[in-house]
Amino acid sequence: MDERLITDELEAIYEKRIQGYDNLIMLAEEQQSILLADRHKELNDNIAKFDPLLMDLQRLDKRETAFTERIEQVQTEGKLPLNFDLDTLRLRFKKELAKRVERLRGLVEANTRLLNNLMSFANFTMDAICRVATGQSDAISRNNSILLDLKV
């Protein structure tokens, strides 16, 4: 194995992984926009776009693992210089990946909070509607109706 070919292959894998995370970030930002703009009908389409990207990232991870194992085997067999610095190359890209993972984590957490708030509001609304529909007109129901009017 040639050092240049190894470097090129690993760089290609890492660049595809970085692009994959950039695509996930873009989808998470789109999801946040959908949630904030009450365009909930678009949410399923957005969520469906995540799976293929995650599967691609998983394939790239397996490809990287298999390739690095092969490099280590070739190095052990003495067919590659022992001074070939695989860790430096990995570290450079791992830092870039870490930045993107952190950005994605923040977006996912924010979107999760938005979804939880929407579910809470939906549950509150359904409870209020059920109380009114069943004729429960006690003070709690009136207070809930007032709260619902305020939220809407």
Question: Full-prediction pTM beyond 0.85?
Answer: no
Query: Residue 14's CB: how many other CB atoms inside 10 A?
Result: 19
CA 37, 39, 44: angle at the middle one, nearest 5?
135
C-alpha span between 106 and 89 (Å, rounded): 27
C-alpha span between 120 and 97 (Å, rounded): 34
SS3 138: coil
- Domains of the chain (ranges, CATH numbers): 3-110 (1.20.58)
C-alpha span between 24 and 57 (Å, rounded): 10
pLDDT of residue 75: 76
C-alpha span between 129 and 106 (Å, rounded): 35
pLDDT of residue 73: 82
pLDDT means over runs of 10, the chain (152 residues): 80 94 97 92 94 96 90 77 71 91 97 88 76 65 57 52
C-alpha span between 14 and 95 (Å, rounded): 11
pLDDT of residue 70: 85
